[in-house]
C-alpha cells in the first residue's frame, strides 16, 4: 500500500517534530544526508501515525476479504453459487451458463447473469425480479431474458408495469412464457426445457442441455469430399445430440421423481433439488401438504436418481449446519451420486 501526503499552500502546513539542522562539516568529512536522515523514525510521536495504522489495517482487511473465495460448490465442471433458505430467499447462479434460477432478493452476483429462470411466483423465489431488471439497466447491461411459467406471465408483466409507474423508470426485459415440453435456444450449443413439478401453486423446473452434432451412421463410411457434397446438396447429414447438464427443481414434492417424463432431470450431470425438511420434527405428510420434499423421500426414491452429483437446497431456517450435515450423510449412504448441501446463510448451533 502506498500513502501519499499532499500539502496544499492554502492550508496549514503539517508540523513534524523538530530536528536540529545537521552541522556543516568540511568537504573531506561531510557524510551523506541519506545516511543521517531516517524518514520512518521522524514520524515518531506524530498524530498522523494512528491514522496511517488504521489505513494500513483497513487496506489489509479489504485485501484479505477480496482473496476469500466465493462461497459455492464446484460440481461436474460447474461453479454453482447462491443462497437458498426455505421461505426466505432462493437464487442459484451458474456463471458458465450466465444464468440464475429464481431470484428471491437479487444478490449482486445475479445482476451479471443474462438469463433468469423463475420456477413459481412465491416471493422468496421471484421477489427480487424488479430490482434485477432495474440493476441491469443501471449498469447499462443488455435487457435480460426472463423465463416464467405461462400461467403467470400476465401477472409478471403487471408487476413490472407497477414498478415502472411508481418509480418513473423504464424496465426493459425479454419475458418468455416457456411451457413444459417446449425448448428455447440460449446459444448455439445450449438449450433449456421446463419440466413438471408439484408445489402448492403452479410451478415448473428446468433442464439445461448441451447441444452437439454427430454424423449420421449411414454417412460414417464416406470421405470428406463426399460428405461435403451431400451437405451442399441440402442433405441433413448430422443428428443433434442433447445431453442434460443441470436440472433445477425449485419448490416441489418428491412426486416429480416418479414422472417418467422427467427422466432427463434425474440423469443430468447435476441435479439441484429441494430438501426443505430433514428430521422427524416435520413429517413427510407435513412436507407434502405444503408442496415440499422431506429428505426421507429422496432416500426412498434413490433408485431413480442417475445424476453424477446432487445439490440439496431450500432447507428450512430451523436447521443448523450440524443438522444439515447429518441428514446429508444419511442420504449419501444410499446414493452413488455425490451429495452436497448448499449451506450459505446457515449457522452452526455453536455460533
pLDDT tens digits for range 221-242: 888 887 788 788 888 878 889 9
> How far apart are alpha carbons 160 and 146 in whole angstroms?
12
- Proportion of the chain above pLDDT 90, given as a percent: 70
Once rounded to an integer, what is the mean pLDDT over residues 193-210?
98
Average pLDDT, the chain: 85
Higher pLDDT, 213 or 208: 208
Rounded CA separation 342/314 (Å): 8
Of 75-89, 202-216, 233-247, the least confident: 233-247
* Pairing between β-strand 89-94 and β-strand 99-101 as defined by DSSP bridges: antiparallel
Arithmetic mean of pLDDT, 195-212: 97
Q: Given strand 270-274, what is the order of strands in its sheet?
A: 184-187, 190-196, 204-215, 238-248, 270-274, 309-313, 338-341
pTM of the model: 0.77
**Alpha-carbon span 17 to 289, nearest angstrom:** 76
Q: How far apart are CA 297 and CA 273, in angstroms?
A: 12
111: nearest Cα among 83, 86, 140: 140
Cβ neighbours of residue 185 closer than 8 Å, sequence gap 6 or more: 191
Q: Is the per-residue pLDDT at 210 higher than 90?
A: yes
* DSSP line for 299-342: HHTGGG---SEEEEE-EETT--HHHHHHHHHHHHTT-SSEEEE-
Local confidence band at 75 (pLDDT 50, 70, 90 cut-offs): very high
The whole-number pLDDT of residue 49 equals 54
The least confident of 60-64, 85-89, 238-242 is 60-64
Confidence at residue 144, expressed as pLDDT on a 0 to 100 scale: 98
What local confidence, expressed as pLDDT, does residue 36 receive?
36
- Render pLDDT for 306-349 as a digit per residue (tens, 0 to 9): 999 999 999 999 999 999 999 999 999 999 899 999 999 999 99
What span, in angstroms and rounded, lies between the C-alpha atoms of 45 and 206?
65
Q: Cβ(119)–Cβ(125) under 8 Å?
A: yes
Task: Say if residue 261 is exposed, middle or buried (CB neighbours under 10 Å; 0-12, 13-18, 19+).
Answer: exposed
C-alpha cell at 102: 429464481
Mean pLDDT for 89-109 is 97
| Cα 144 from Cα 137, distance rounded (Å) | 9
Q: From CA 268, how far away is CA 308, in angstroms rounded?
A: 8
**Residue 7: predicted pLDDT:** 39
Q: CA 198, CA 274: separation in Å to the nearest integer?
A: 12
Q: What whole-number distance in Å separates Cα of residue 204 and Cα of residue 120?
A: 7
* CA-to-CA separations, 333 to 32, 214, 270, 280, 337, in angstroms, rounded: 75, 38, 18, 19, 10
Instruction: Evaluate if residue 56 carries a pLDDT over 90.
Output: no
Amino acid at each position: 500500500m502506498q500513502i501519499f501526503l499532499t500539502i496544499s499552500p492554502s492550508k496549514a502546513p503539517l508540523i513534524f517534530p523538530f530536528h536540529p539542522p545537521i552541522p556543516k562539516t568540511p568537504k573531506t568529512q561531510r557524510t551523506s544526508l541519506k545516511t543521517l536522515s531516517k524518514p520512518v523514525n521522524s514520524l515518531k510521536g506524530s498524530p498522523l501515525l494512528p491514522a496511517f495504522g488504521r489505513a494500513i489495517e483497513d487496506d489489509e482487511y479489504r485485501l484479505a476479504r477480496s482473496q476469500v473465495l466465493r462461497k459455492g460448490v464446484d460440481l461436474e465442471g460447474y461453479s454453482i453459487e447462491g443462497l437458498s433458505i426455505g421461505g426466505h430467499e432462493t437464487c442459484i447462479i451458474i456463471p458458465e451458463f450466465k444464468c440464475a434460477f429464481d431470484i428471491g432478493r437479487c444478490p449482486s452476483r445475479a445482476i451479471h447473469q443474462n438469463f433468469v429462470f423463475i420456477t413459481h411466483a412465491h416471493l422468496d423465489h421471484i421477489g427480487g425480479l424488479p430490482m434485477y431488471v432495474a440493476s441491469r439497466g443501471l449498469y447499462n447491461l443488455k435487457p435480460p431474458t426472463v423465463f416464467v411459467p405461462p400461467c403467470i406471465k400476465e401477472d409478471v408483466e403487471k408487476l413490472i408495469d407497477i414498478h415502472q409507474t411508481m418509480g418513473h423508470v423504464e424496465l426493459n426485459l425479454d419475458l418468455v412464457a416457456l411451457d413444459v415440453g417446449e425448448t428455447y435456444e440460449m446459444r448455439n450449443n445450449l438449450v433449456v426445457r421446463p419440466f413438471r413439478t408439484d408445489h402448492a401453486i403452479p410451478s415448473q423446473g428446468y433442464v439445461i442441455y448441451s447441444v452437439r452434432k454427430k454424423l449420421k451412421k449411414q454417412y460414417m463410411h464416406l470421405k470428406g469430399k463426399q460428405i461435403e457434397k451431400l451437405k451442399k446438396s441440402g442433405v441433413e447429414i448430422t443428428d443433434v445430440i442433447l445431453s442434460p447438464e443441470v436440472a433445477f427443481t425449485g419448490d416441489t414434492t418428491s412426486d416429480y421423481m416418479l414422472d417418467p417424463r422427467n427422466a432427463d432431470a434425474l440423469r443430468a450431470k447435476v441435479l439441484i433439488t429441494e430438501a426443505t425438511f430433514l428430521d422427524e420434527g416435520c413429517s413427510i405428510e407435513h412436507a407434502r401438504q405444503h408442496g415440499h420434499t422431506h429428505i426421507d423421500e429422496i432416500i426412498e426414491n434413490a433408485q431413480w436418481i442417475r445424476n453424477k452429483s446432487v445439490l440439496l437446497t431450500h432447507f428450512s431456517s430451523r436447521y443448523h449446519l450440524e443438522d444439515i450435515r447429518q441428514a446429508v450423510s444419511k442420504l449419501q449412504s444410499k446414493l452413488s451420486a455425490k451429495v452436497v448441501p448448499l449451506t450459505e446463510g446457515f449457522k452452526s448451533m455453536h455460533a
